[in-house]
Amino acid sequence: MNRIAVTDLTDFVLKCLRSTGLTESDCLVTCEALVSTDTLGVFTHGTKLLVGYLKKLVGGGYPISAVPRIEREGPAWAIIDGSSGLGQTGSVFAMQTAIRKAKQFGVAFVSLRNTGHIGAAGHYALLAAKEGCLAMVTGNDMPSVAAPGSTGAVLGSNPLAYAIPTGGDPVLLDMATAAVAGGKVYAAHQRGESIPATWLIGPDGLPTTDGSLYPHGAALAPMAGHKGYGLGLWCEVLSALIPGGAMTWQVGSWIFDAPSKPSLHNASFFVADIDAMTDRAAFNSRMKSLIDEIHAAPTADGVASVLLPGEREFQTARDAVRNGIALPEDVRIKLRECADVVSCLVPGFLN
């Protein structure tokens, strides 16, 4: 597969976003979130999402003039209304607000309601880690995940992400509280691949390997059964219940709803400033000791080392910056669709 230079992909994404009339700052924020996620190799939540966002921007569901605003706040907390705009714009604003408050008061909690689909939650946690803070980000979505014993969806795939600064690459975890992100089911089905029996729950409440049933005839299985269900509920409370946002079936589908409809997503951002609580050098030293201990753990045959969350992704990103991004064909197909939505030429690197 021909690799795509990060700069070429960035230029194309910016061209598409600018064509909608979106402000330059919003274009840059959204582009960075999508392209940087592709560089990490997380292709389900990178530029593959762009075509859906463009349809919402062109159709009015995500108003191009939307500006997130603080509705109410205290010294170490805030509730932000995303004004139905792009989730990347609202989420970056919310995380920047949380970082600013944490730098002043040690910790901060910010909830964001009424925003667009936020994409990769880990992207925002990384913003805090780059500022020397640890962070947790949660989100909610329309139900697509079964609860133990249910025959249909009860909660969204509600993501949970965290990032921890280390003095080197942060520790980064970004996961759906479903057994797998819905995008991975779509991608596997589009590629004609079978899916594991642990991914989906069919209409009879039993596991199914038929990816074509999702999302209308099957629900995602919760991660680790009742444990994933419990974490998904926690994300729903932090992201949507606290700020008064749309919950469960009140959230729209940014993919299947009419482009003129807002999707009413929500998210939460917790940030703690390391410097406010402990000595930075001591913290980094203790983190290094912990990482070294994990790396030194005995491994199974064929495994070189136990990895920390995010370690493989940062290695992938360095390779992508040097050699280009190996975008899968299902992502390239979606990018070619972007050119149709905004009436521009498909760049040669996508052919």
Q: What is the pLDDT of residue 345?
A: 81
Q: What is the pLDDT of residue 190?
A: 83
Using CA atoms, how far apart are residues 234 and 135, in angstroms rounded to an integer? Answer: 16
Query: Would you give per-residue pLDDT tens digits along the chain (351 residues)?
Result: 689 999 999 999 999 999 999 999 999 999 999 999 999 999 999 999 999 999 999 999 999 999 999 999 999 999 999 999 999 999 999 999 999 999 999 999 999 999 999 999 999 999 999 999 999 999 999 999 999 999 999 999 999 999 999 999 999 999 999 998 787 898 888 888 889 999 999 999 999 999 999 988 999 999 999 999 999 999 999 999 999 999 999 999 999 999 999 999 999 999 999 999 999 999 999 999 999 999 999 999 999 999 999 999 999 999 999 999 999 999 999 999 999 999 888 888 887
d(CA 81, CA 76): 17
Cβ atoms of 119 and 87 within 8 Å: the answer is: yes
The pLDDT score that the predictor gives to residue 349 is 85
Q: What is the pLDDT of residue 194?
A: 85
Question: What is the DSSP pairing of strand 171-176 with strand 200-201?
Answer: unpaired
Note the pLDDT of residue 344: 85
The confidence score (pLDDT) of residue 1 equals 61
Domains along the chain? 6-277 (3.30.1370.60)
Q: CA 11 to CA 351: how far, in whole Å?
A: 16
Work out the burial of residue 7: count CB atoms within 10 Å of its CB; fewer than 13 is exposed, 13-18 middle, 19 or more buried. Answer: exposed
For residue 167, what are the contacts with CB-CB under 8 A and spacing of at least 6? 284, 287, 288
164 burial type by CB count under 10 A (0-12 exposed, 13-18 middle, 19+ buried): buried
Q: According to the model, what pLDDT value does residue 181 have? A: 78
